Amino acid sequence: MEKQIHFIKMEGAGNDYVYVDCFSQFIKNPQALARQVSRRHFGIGSDGLILIKPSPRADCFMDIYNADGSRGRTCGNGLRCTARLLWKKSGGTKNEFSIETLSGISCVQVSQVNRRRSWVQAGMGQVFVRNIPAPVNRILKMLPGGVFTEWVHVADAGNLHCVVKLKTCHEEWSPVQVLEQLDLKSVGSFLEHYEGFPGSVNVEFCVDESREGCLCSWEDSGWECPDSGPSVPDVSRKICARVWERGSGETLACGSGACAIYQAFCKAEGPADCCIFMPGGRLYVTGNDHEVLLGGMAADVFEGDLPVSL
């Protein structure tokens, strides 16, 4: 026996999830559904599943499932897309929302850009830099292909991230070429499951382009400047990054990962607001004494009905 559930696929910087409004629908087995919808060639295709549920403490509870069916604690791009969905549901009459996750409650603001996308900024709370498991520095001292590590930091952005800044011994390589040469599947998967990280970890590999005079080839991916609402931050630090997400593998972007990158660079090289270029687009991260703020575009992809076995 089957029933139809209504869904909408949305993306923030290419970080795409299938969203289901569970105020009026019930999902019996979200782990299995997450695995089903996430399959790129045999499902809808996504980095995971997000269920939007009632919350006694906030406008909604955002229940996150990774592509392998495991549960996620928070998702920066998920927060931003969920806020756009709530904004549409309100008929555009409300533009600030409180969204609860397993990591706490975030305040998210939406500014309309056009019918398909919005500029959305999420308060991600405080991001903490943690101690690095001792063997990790040794593991990352030299990566295959002549790629070296400049520094490593572990940051807690509601979920755990290992942030690695890369350098190279090849003078002819640009910073982005260093990043593109990296065997992310091999190294990312190894670190994700490394026993020194409790409950596994997300991994971000980065290069700093602030002083290189050339921008990442991903600069314009999916980007459209907002024509209303808050202005795009003027930043002094430009970073390119690739992401390996716990339970999902390589993704085009990661919002909480962008916040972890921001905090790791602040720790290693001093405070500065960041524009972080990822393969799916760019994210802006700023901070103050109380929290880290994540800004960028959130867009609808398509919606429909999906048969689900009872």
- Residues 201, 187: Cα–Cα separation, whole Å: 12
**Whether residue 172 is found in the same domain as residue 243:** yes
**Residue 48 sits in which domain range?**
2-122+298-309
List the structure tokens of 274: 């960041």
52 and 183 inside one domain? no
State the total domains in the chain: 2
Catalytic residue among 254, 259, 274, 275: 254
Question: What is residue 112's predicted lDDT score, i.e. its pLDDT?
Answer: 74
Q: Both 152 and 226 in a single domain?
A: yes
Binding-site residue positions for substrate: 15, 66, 76-77, 159, 202, 245-246, 255-256
Whether residues 235 and 92 fall in one domain: no
Are 109 and 225 found together in one domain? Answer: no
Residues 114 and 145 in one domain: no
Burial 27-59 (b: 16+ CB within 10 A, else e): beebeebbbbbbeeeebbebbbbbbbbeeeebb
Q: What confidence tens digit (pLDDT) does each residue in 34-60 have?
A: 999 999 999 999 999 999 999 999 999
Residues 218 and 240: their CA atoms lie apart, in Å, by 8
Task: Grade residue 219 by pLDDT with cuts at 50, 70 and 90.
Answer: low
Residue 142 is predicted with a pLDDT of 61
- Using only C-alpha atoms, what is the Rg of the chain? 19
Q: Do residue 152 and residue 97 come from a single domain?
A: no
User: Domain containing 66 — which CATH number?
Assistant: 3.10.310.10
How is 147-210 classified by DSSP, letter by letter? EEEEEEEEEESSSEEEEEEEEES-TT--HHHHHHHS-HHHHHHHHHT-TTSTT--EEEEEEE-T
Q: What are the tokens at 307?
A: 């048969």
Domain match, 107 and 156 both: no
Which two three-digit tokens encode residue 228? 């209303």
162 assigned to active site: no
Same domain, 16 and 114: yes
CA distances to 68, 118, 120, 191, 202 from 87, rounded to whole Å, are 29, 10, 10, 37, 29
**Which residue in 142, 246, 249 sits closest to 193, CA to CA?**
246
Annotated active-site residue 254? The verdict is: yes
Based on the domain organization, do 106 and 255 belong to the same domain? no
Section 125-143 average pLDDT: 79
Residues 108 and 152 in one domain: no
Q: What is the pLDDT of residues 140-172, one digit of tens each?
A: 766 666 678 889 999 999 999 999 999 876 777
pLDDT tens column, 3-34: 899 999 999 999 999 999 999 999 999 999 99
Those residues whose C-beta lies under 8 Å from the C-beta of residue 137, and which sit 6 or more positions away, are: 149, 152
Q: Is the dihedral of CA 171, 175, 180, 183 positive or negative?
A: positive
For residue 220, which amino acid is it? Answer: D
pLDDT at residue 2 is higher than 60: yes
Task: Give the pairing type, strands 237-245 and 274-278.
Answer: parallel
pLDDT for 232: 61
Binding residues: 15, 66, 76-77, 159, 202, 245-246, 255-256
Options 60, 75, 107, 240, the catalytic residue: 75
